[in-house]
Chains A and B, each alone.
Chain A
Amino acid sequence: MSKKTLIPIGPYHPLQEEPELFKLYCDGEIVKDIKWETGYNHRGIEKLSESKTYEQVFFLVERICGICSTSHPFAFANAVEEIVGKEITDRAKYIRSIIGELERIHSHLLWVGLAGHFLGYNTVFMWAWKYREPILDLFEMITGNRNSYAMFKVGGVRRDIENSKIHVIRKTLSDFRKKNDLLTGAVIDDPVIHARTKGVGILTKQDIIDYAAVGPTARASGVAIDIRKDDPYAAYPLVNWKVITAEGGDVFAKAEVRLLEMYESISIIEQCLDGLEKTKEGDINIVVKEIPEGIGTGRAEAPRGEVFHFVVSDGSSSPVRHKIRAPSYVNIATFKKSCIGQTISDATISLAAVDPCYCCTERMAVAYDHKSGRKIWNANDLINISSGKTSELKKNIIRQK
């Protein structure tokens, strides 16, 4: 039997957003097996939710994820409104969709930037994060916060978008579209990025169905699951847009799906802004006096895929049971398929391709020799291996020309 080296990629640090530990069992350069451990920072949010009122739960679930912080209140609102059985106003629907799509843009930009960083393309990293900044400024203007927007409530939204501010949003979006052209061009036409990401970390259609993966991870393998189309909510049935899919199933396809989805998001927001102009300012809430007894299932398409909330109400002011499933819960499990058989330098980007939290991988990855316990590589070394492979490729491609 050959010797295997254990490479743990993962944090033990409570300050990380998503502490998880990936144990890569490697034979030489090749990953042979992967195990996953989590729970370092289990917050018991489902249990905590049972002791909060429905209004408070919105703020609680908003804190599940720092990057897609609006998708959980979105799904929770859908679930509770299903129990209540009332339609919210059109203006509230448009505002909800605008917040959801702006979030998708900033989350995808964050991913593109970090993926670039991991591949040794720090220009892409700096561009993407620079272009993300005006989107966060928009959030600050609309909601008062750059993150954790506190916009949702049962029966509507907490703040209106004044019609006088609409032109600022339009201007920022049209500026961003041009920048996104640049970014998409830089990623999609680059031969080195092709060489690093095509054929790496492939998930087949069958893998997606087996693991029930969702979001861009599924769509990049040709499985067109998008809750915005499949179970329409908020303003998504009121506007025209299309679901972006790719067939490759590799890291490149996932990047392609995310980059092209941002154009759809821009278009959705622009149509929602048209909708806002047609509805009456201030008409953002309906009165919901009490939550009746019953069960509600709410879904929302977060940047990473389907968020699912299941709420059981007994007619009191708090949920009796609140089950939450975030998209990474099913997407992370696909690592067993995408990483095994890859080299270590490709495993980094394969792990990153489903868009789990990156800072985990970045800070705490250390490679030990399995036998002697001697430290071989730390996180920076791992990134260096990955960027080294890119520069090697760059040289070769330039030489060929």
Chain B
Amino acid sequence: METNLVIENFKENFNSVIVEVFKKSEKRVTVTIKPDAILKVGEYLYKTAGFRFIIASALHTKRGFEIHYHFSLDKTELILNIHVILDKENPQIESLSNMFNASNWIEREMHELFGINFINHPNQEKLISEGNWAEGVYPYRKEFK
């Protein structure tokens, strides 16, 4: 019941940017949104709706680059995946790290491993392979062998 309420509230606020809502169960919901809206959605979830940012997972698929931002509403079992699909050639999206520090490292990691650019990131340095990996080679892309 509460999950439906969360989805309704979310739809009310962001109807224009929602591409698809997929409710797998009461505990797991995936919402696909337009990438431009990520800052506003992130702000709403973090500041208004009381969600905790768990982590983000990047994927390299036929559709291009996809990111699942996993948000948890503790106490209600709900994990809300905010799903965005980015451009194949020039993947980029606004950084959430100016809002909360929790996404700082994972955005650096996605930049390093997938080559996704996070606009306005406070410090988009390499996280894992500083000084021992070639520039412009992204090991988690599908073409990397």
Contact = CB atoms under 8 A, between A and B. Distances in A.
Interface stretch (A117-125, A169-177, A305-313, A346-354): A305-313
B63 interface: no
Given A212-B53, A212-B54, A47 B77 contact: no
B44 interface: no
Contacts, number: 76
Contact of B59 (A209, A212, A321, A333): A321
B119 interface: no
The winner among A39, A209, A308 for most chain B CB atoms within 10 A is A39
Given A230-B74, A333-B104, A297 B28 contact: yes
Contacts of A210: 100-102
A38 interface: yes
A39 B79 contact: no
Contacts of A37: 130
Given A39-B127, A39-B128, A42-B128, A308 B77 contact: no
A211 interface: yes
A12 interface: no
Contacts of A336: 101
Interface stretch (A144-152, A282-290, A322-330, A360-368): A322-330
A333 B101 contact: yes
Interface in B87-114: 100-102, 104-106
Interface residues of A, number: 32
A310 B59 CA distance: 11
B124 to A, nearest CB: 15
Nearest to A44: B139
A325 B129 CA distance: 18
B121 interface: no
Contacts of B59: 312, 320-321
A38 B27 contact: no
Given A297-B79, A297-B81, A310 B57 contact: yes
Nearest to B103: A212
Interface residues of B, number: 31
Contacts of B77: 230-232
Given A212-B52, A212-B100, A297-B70, A47 B139 contact: yes
Given A38-B128, A39-B128, A230-B74, A333 B68 contact: no
A280 to B, nearest CB: 29
Interface in A26-79: 37-39, 42, 44, 46-47
Contacts of A38: 127-128
B33 to A, nearest CB: 16
Interface in A265-320: 294-295, 297, 299, 306, 308, 310, 312, 320
Contacts of B28: 82, 297
A308 B54 CA distance: 8
B130 A330 contact: no
Contacts of B52: 209, 212, 225
A47 to B, nearest CB: 6
A209 B53 CA distance: 9
Interface of B: 24, 27-28, 30, 52-55, 57, 59, 68, 70, 72, 74-77, 79, 81, 100-102, 104-106, 127-130, 139-140
16 contacts: A42-B129, A44-B139, A210-B100, A225-B52, A231-B27, A231-B79, A232-B77, A295-B68, A308-B70, A310-B70, A312-B59, A329-B55, A330-B55, A333-B101, A333-B104, A333-B105
Interface of A: 37-39, 42, 44, 46-47, 82, 209-212, 225, 230-232, 294-295, 297, 299, 306, 308, 310, 312, 320-321, 323, 325, 329-330, 333, 336
